[in-house]
Amino acid sequence: MFEKCEAIVLRTIDYGETHKIVTLLTREWGKVAVMARGAKKPNSRLSSVTHLFTYGHYLIQKSRGVGSLHQGEIIDALRGIREDIFATAYASYVVELTDKIMEERRPNPYLFELLLQTLKYMNDGLDLEILTYIYEMKMLRVIGLPPSLDGCAVCGRSKGRFSFSIKEGGFLCDQCEEKDPYRFSLSSAAVRLLRLFYHLDLSRLGKISVKKETKNELHHVISAYYDEYSGLSLKTKRFLEQIEQLKSRLQ
């Protein structure tokens, strides 16, 4: 029996000379793997619908293991991402992050919508770095690693100057900063944006202009937090770092 779903292509692996195993994030069932027979053939009706990042409707024969993809209909190919090396790098990172975190067959409509909206914004040319930082911050709640951002992680104080402590798992006020000599000093803008990115409804995102210095602060804090607590090792992270270095040289 075939069933229809709404899905985003997270990953593809070549299988034999002509087939692909495609990992889909579906709105209805969560993450599922399907066999796309003949999808590597240029004239296959499954070729275009199994490209990375593609968003569409898919007709699937489900099974306990790898299901079978019968047909697909593209809603949005998100070509703008695939045609830009920088957009490809950032989108590949958020997609792999999602793939690593999501368990098989665990529906999460919130995460599906979050990923879809992020990819659409990237496709439309919005700030790739900011979109990635927002996504990373929101994923911390999904994986059960929420930082203390509403106040000091030690005393709870909510006003004043703050730094960020990886050891304490969040902000430190100026009265508690001696608790961590390795804390990250933060500008008031970085403090505000970390809070905003964590709580923001992404669908309400407007134009955000952030200085390069503030972006660097956000990058260092978020990366260090993930490195300390997530246990994730992502191939696309290394590629993204190389792309960021290239971007800096071009600027």
Residue 21's pLDDT is 97
State the average pLDDT for the chain: 95
pLDDT band at 251 (very low <50, low <70, confident <90, very high): low
pLDDT band at 65 (very low <50, low <70, confident <90, very high): confident
Q: What is the pLDDT of residues 6-61, one digit of tens each?
A: 999 999 999 999 999 999 999 999 999 999 999 999 899 999 999 999 999 999 99
Q: What is the pLDDT of residues 110-120, one digit of tens each?
A: 999 999 999 99
Residue 1's pLDDT is 80
In sequence order, which ranges of 104-211 are alpha helices (DSSP H)?
A: 109-123, 128-142, 188-199
Residue 168's pLDDT is 98
Is the model's pLDDT at 248 over the cut of 80? no
Q: How, if at all, do strands 170-173 and 184-185 pair? A: unpaired
Mean pLDDT across 92-111: 95
On whether the CB atoms of residues 56 and 69 are closer than 8 A, the answer is no
Contacts with 73 (C-beta within 8 Å, 6 or more apart), sequence order = 49, 56, 57, 58
Is the model's pLDDT at 250 over the cut of 80? no
pLDDT band at 64 (very low <50, low <70, confident <90, very high): confident
Mean pLDDT across 76-95: 96
pLDDT band at 156 (very low <50, low <70, confident <90, very high): very high
On whether the CB atoms of residues 92 and 58 are closer than 8 A, the answer is no
Is the model's pLDDT at 208 over the cut of 90? no
Angle between helices 212-229 and 128-142 (to 10 degrees): 30
pLDDT band at 90 (very low <50, low <70, confident <90, very high): very high
d(CA 241, CA 251): 15
Torsion, Cα of 185, 245, 77, 120 (10° steps): 20
